[in-house]
């Protein structure tokens, strides 16, 4: 037998078979890091026919070699100093572990208390913030209601003033004066009715020519038998034109007198806008920052970021690529916003 296996609580180490028991003890101390005194107290045993036999003397070791058994078990006796020292260490370690466990439990209790305190503080702060938010929202809605009420009152006053203006204009016999940008030499635009009258005159002239040709072909008839409608329409159109030429200078004089009282330059009466522009709303007191027209007529485009910056519809189409801020489209002054808050990301 050349090799021997030493089994110490499941840890197995193979060595060359020693000649004596003393040599075996030396191998145990060197391989398992025991002192010579501890190695001398270690119990060496082996199994033979399911019986555990201890090797205590040199004779026992020689009998073991004769039996050709290649494995021995190593145990620690309870009476040995190694066992007592190990037990003391275990007791000390267990006491330290108990102390550490108690310390950690107390620390956890303190941390839980701190956690509860933090939760209670945060909940109080949250409740205070919610109350403040409710108060602020109540003030906000109250301010909005107040602003809406003031806006309604202003609209009522504007409507009443508009009715008074219309009544005064009816008394003076003039039409509504659209607010136009001031120009050095304003051009007089003839009313639409006059253009229609001109067309009628042209048509009647063609009719009269056609009637004359027919009359040349037809036999002569007496004047009492029928009326000459072509001549009659031509006379009526001529009278309407004469009346229009008389009324225009009188209306211009009246408007000049009114503008002098207001403090503006002479502005002649302008014909009413086309049917498409009649429904357009006038944004009084708001001028276009592009072309300078005051007030803006039609759709108003208000910048959502710049303070007091507006465009008319034409300037918005021309400058929408230059001015990079978003615009709000306002159809009429009644739905214009009081305040705008915009945040760019």
Tell me the pLDDT tens digit for each residue of 173-203.
Answer: 765 544 444 444 455 555 555 444 444 444 4
Q: Are 44 and 72 in contact (CB under 8 A)?
A: yes
C-alpha to C-alpha distance for 331 and 71, rounded to whole angstroms: 105
Helix ranges, 263-323 (H): 275-278, 313-319
pLDDT-flagged residues of the chain (< 70)? 1, 174-234, 237, 244, 261-279, 342-345
Looking at the DSSP bridge assignments, the partners of residue 13 are: 6
pLDDT at 200: 45
Residue 343 phi/psi, 5-degree rounding, is -120, 125
- Spell out the long-range contacts of 140-148 with Cβ–Cβ below 8 A and sequence spacing 24 or more: 144/338, 147/338
Structure tokens at 38: 């501890």
Look-up: residue for tokens 């009659």? 232
Nearest to 281 by CA among 214, 335, 209: 335
Structure tokens at 198: 């001109």
Sheet with 51-55, side-by-side order of all strands:
11-16, 3-8, 71-76, 42-48, 51-55
Does the pTM surpass 0.85? The reply is no
Question: Secondary structure of the chain: what % helix, strand, coil (to 5)?
Answer: 55, 15, 30
CA distances from 109 to 96, 106, 198 (A): 20, 5, 103
pLDDT at 258: 76
C-alpha to C-alpha distance for 311 and 90, rounded to whole angstroms: 90
pLDDT at 168: 86
Pairing state of beta strands 3-8 and 42-48? unpaired
């Amino acid at each position: 037998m050349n090799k021997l296996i030493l089994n110490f609580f499941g840890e197995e180490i193979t060595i060359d078979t020693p000649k004596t028991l003393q040599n075996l003890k030396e191998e145990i101390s060197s391989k398992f890091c025991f002192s010579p005194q501890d190695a001398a107290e270690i119990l060496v045993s082996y199994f033979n026919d399911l019986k555990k036999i201890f090797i205590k003397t040199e004779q026992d070791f020689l009998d073991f070699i004769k039996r050709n058994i290649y494995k021995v078990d190593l145990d620690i006796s309870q009476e040995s100093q190694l066992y007592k020292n190990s037990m003391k260490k275990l007791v000390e370690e267990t006491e330290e572990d108990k102390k550490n466990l108690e310390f950690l439990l107390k620390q956890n209790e303190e941390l839980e208390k701190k956690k509860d305190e933090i939760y209670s503080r945060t909940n109080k702060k949250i409740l205070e913030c919610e109350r403040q938010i409710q108060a602020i929202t109540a003030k906000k809605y109250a301010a909005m209601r107040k602003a809406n009420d003031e806006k309604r009152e202003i609209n009522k006053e504007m409507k009443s003033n508009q009715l008074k203006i219309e009544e005064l204009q009816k008394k003076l016999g003039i039409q509504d004066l659209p607010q136009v940008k001031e120009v050095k030499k304003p051009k007089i635009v003839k009313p639409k009715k006059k253009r229609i009258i001109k067309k009628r005159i042209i048509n009647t002239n063609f009719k009269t020519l056609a009637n004359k040709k027919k009359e040349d072909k037809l036999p002569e008839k007496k004047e009492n038998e029928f009326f000459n409608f072509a001549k009659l329409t031509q006379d009526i159109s001529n009278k309407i034109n004469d009346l229009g030429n008389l009324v225009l200078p009188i209306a211009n004089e009246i408007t000049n007198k009114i503008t002098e009282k207001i403090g503006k330059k002479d502005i002649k009466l302008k014909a009413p806008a086309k049917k498409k522009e009649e429904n357009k709303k006038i944004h009084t007191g708001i001028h276009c920052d592009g072309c300078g027209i005051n007030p803006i007529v039609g759709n108003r485009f208000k910048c959502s970021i710049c303070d007091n910056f507006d465009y008319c519809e034409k300037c918005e189409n021309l400058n929408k690529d230059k001015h990079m801020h978003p615009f709000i489209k306002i159809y009429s002054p009644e739905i214009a916003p009081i305040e705008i808050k915009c945040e760019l990301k």
